[in-house]
Chain A
């Protein structure tokens, strides 16, 4: 069955330190991979995507993600965290079989302490 997993419900990082939010997936075929961020009482905002090409993808607000095909992972990273990065982060994967499907992970709450 197709699935997306975010193994950590919460990630806590000190401001200025690097951060990683993990995502692994299991889909057939070639996936399209996405990261979204959600601030309190707001909708989801698109951060970045991987379709094909370079495994390191750069996105909004200084975030980047690395596609690793052998490990079926797409971890979100940032070299230096800001307090304003505190939010809920969702990984999503889209794939195509007889029709296009997209599923979201359960979300990881990122908390950056000053």
Chain B
């Protein structure tokens, strides 16, 4: 049982679909993150939010759109994805953006057909 919950755990979508990944943290943390994990590649940091404000955007294509409505929730909106976007998308949170370890959710396995 982690303090970070991700839904859905599995998602299959076509290239023209619009879908969203949801992340919720129950730890009272102030920072939240999206990571992409592809086979045989290092973890890629996509976005960082601190106190609901985006503080980092690592050259992620615009077909990925994050949203952080409050410090407990983080979304990743997906639109016109490519097959190479198929990966495990991990959400994480930390006490703040400067220190401390990250707490990860179980991930959302995305397959783009």
Contacts and interface: CB of A to CB of B under 8 A. Distances in A.
A1 interface: no
Interface in A86-110: 90, 92, 94, 96, 99-100, 102-107
A105 B99 contact: no
Interface string B41-63: 11101000000000110000000
Interface string A65-103: 000000000000000000000000010101010011011
Nearest to B44: A104
Nearest to A100: B98
B89 to A, nearest CB: 10
Contacts of B99: 32, 94, 100
B98 A43 contact: no
Chain A contact residues, majority secondary structure = strand
B64 interface: no
B87 interface: no
Interface in A28-69: 32, 34, 36, 41-46, 49
Interface residues of A, number: 22
A81 to B, nearest CB: 24
Contact of A43 (B42, B101, B105): B105
A32 B92 CA distance: 17
A100 B103 contact: no
A73 B107 CA distance: 29
B105 A96 contact: no
Given A46-B101, A100-B98, 14 more contacts: A32-B99, A36-B104, A41-B106, A43-B90, A43-B104, A44-B104, A45-B2, A46-B102, A49-B101, A90-B43, A94-B99, A99-B55, A99-B98, A107-B42
5 closest cross-chain pairs (CB), A and B: A43-B104, A100-B98, A104-B43, A44-B104, A43-B106
Interface of B: 2, 4, 6, 41-43, 45, 55-56, 90, 92, 97-99, 101-107, 109
Interface of A: 32, 34, 36, 41-46, 49, 90, 92, 94, 96, 99-100, 102-107
